[in-house]
């Protein structure tokens, strides 16, 4: 609210809000009605032959609830922000409350995270109590992309297998969480043409399967591969962890291993983004989270 580009928007909120709220008082008063002295007036609506709608005033308790609600609304706007840039008498702000809660949490749990940071990631991964905390961190910050079971989804890596784009060493995992990763697979359709993309697709598929491959097309595709793909994926297709180049010789596919999916990847490219978490979580939580992720696939490491 404090970031309005002009004073106009402040008054654009204040005036309609107050006018609308204050106008409700006379509206309620004018429509409260009075108790009839004679026979009650009916509205002319009849149901089930003899069930009529009477024009009676609102019950007193109901009418009072309207007044209480209106007064409560005015008092709220006096004490809390709700009128443009006006901050309210109490000066409350969601950002201030959030920062206070974070500060209190850091004071309460900071020493615990610091203690865990002094333990190596492989050893910390064996600490059951620490891993319970790491699991909660993962549930809060990682499940949106990697799933509640950490098995990933299309375009998001499975953290429970032995396939790691940037390496499975503790330092590499911690670096991925701290600094994030940005994968960039360029599209090659313009350079190769549709026929060239088809042939490279055949070669890529031949690295991990033997059935249904056009060997002639794969042979030509290898030539294109050696010119354009070898720097990131290696001469044998085993990948390049320094660049995040995927291993093309196994049966693990981030975007799908069907012929159509592989062709789409080669033709159009892929863009992946793992956001950095160091500034958000701090180095102690990152260390604990890295230990939890490391432990997910500890028994499947090569």
Say whether pLDDT at 300 is over 60.
Answer: no
pLDDT attached to residue 302: 53
Sheet strands (E) in the chain: 42-47, 51-54, 181-185, 270-274
- For residues 14-22, give the mean pLDDT: 94
pLDDT attached to residue 109: 82
pLDDT attached to residue 185: 93
Say whether pLDDT at 153 is over 70.
Answer: yes
Highest mean predicted confidence (pLDDT) among 26-40, 87-101, 146-160: 146-160
Q: Are 181 and 165 in contact (CB under 8 A)?
A: yes
Spatial CA neighbour of 177 closest among 301, 35, 298, 283: 283
pLDDT attached to residue 105: 82
Q: Answer yes or no: same fold for 95-180+276-300 and 183-274.
A: yes
* % of the chain at pLDDT higher than 90: 70
Say whether pLDDT at 1 is over 60.
Answer: no
Q: Which residues pair with 47 in a beta bridge?
A: 51
Instruction: Please identify, in words, the CATH class of the domain defined by 95-180+276-300.
Output: mainly alpha
Say whether pLDDT at 118 is over 70.
Answer: yes
pLDDT attached to residue 234: 94
- For residues 5-26, give the mean pLDDT: 91
The region of weakest confidence among 86-100, 252-266, 273-287 is 86-100
Say whether pLDDT at 129 is over 90.
Answer: yes
For the domain 183-274, what is the CATH superfamily, name and number?
Cytochrome c-like domain (1.10.760.10)
- φ/ψ of 17, rounded to 5, equals -65, -50
Say whether pLDDT at 39 is over 90.
Answer: no
- List the chain domain ranges: 7-91, 95-180+276-300, 183-274
Say whether pLDDT at 154 is over 60.
Answer: yes
pLDDT attached to residue 164: 93
Q: How far apart are CA 6 and CA 3, in angstroms?
A: 9
């Amino acid at each position: 609210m404090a970031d309005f580009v002009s004073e106009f928007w402040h008054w654009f909120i204040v005036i309609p809000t107050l006018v609308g709220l204050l106008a409700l008082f006379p509206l309620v008063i004018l429509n409260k009605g009075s108790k009839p002295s004679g026979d009650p007036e009916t509205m002319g609506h009849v149901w089930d032959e003899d069930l009529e709608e009477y024009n009676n005033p609102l019950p007193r308790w109901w009418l009072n609830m309207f007044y209480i609600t209106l007064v409560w609304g005015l008092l709220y706007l006096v004490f809390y922000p709700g009128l443009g840039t006006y901050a309210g008498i109490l000066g409350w702000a969601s950002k201030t409350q959030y920062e206070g809660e974070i500060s209190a949490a850091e004071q309460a749990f900071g020493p615990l995270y610091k203690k865990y940071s002094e333990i190596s990631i492989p050893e910390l991964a064996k600490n059951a109590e620490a891993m319970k905390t790491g699991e909660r961190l993962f549930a809060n910050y990682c499940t949106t992309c990697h799933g509640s079971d950490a098995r990933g989804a299309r375009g998001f890596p499975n953290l429970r297998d032995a396939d790691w784009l940037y390496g499975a060493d503790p330092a590499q995992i911690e670096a991925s969480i701290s600094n994030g990763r940005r994968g960039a697979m360029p599209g090659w359709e313009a350079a190769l043409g549709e026929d060239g993309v088809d042939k490279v697709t055949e070669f890529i598929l031949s690295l991990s399967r033997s059935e249904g491959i056009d060997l002639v097309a794969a042979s030509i595709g290898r030539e294109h591969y050696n010119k354009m793909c070898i720097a990131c994926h290696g001469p044998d297709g085993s990948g390049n962890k320094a660049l995040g180049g995927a291993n093309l010789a196994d049966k693990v596919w981030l975007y799908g291993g069907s012929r159509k999916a592989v062709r789409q990847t080669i033709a159009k490219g892929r863009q992946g983004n793992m956001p950095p978490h160091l500034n958000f979580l701090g180095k102690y939580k990152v260390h604990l989270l890295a230990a939890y992720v490391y432990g997910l696939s500890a028994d499947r490491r090569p």
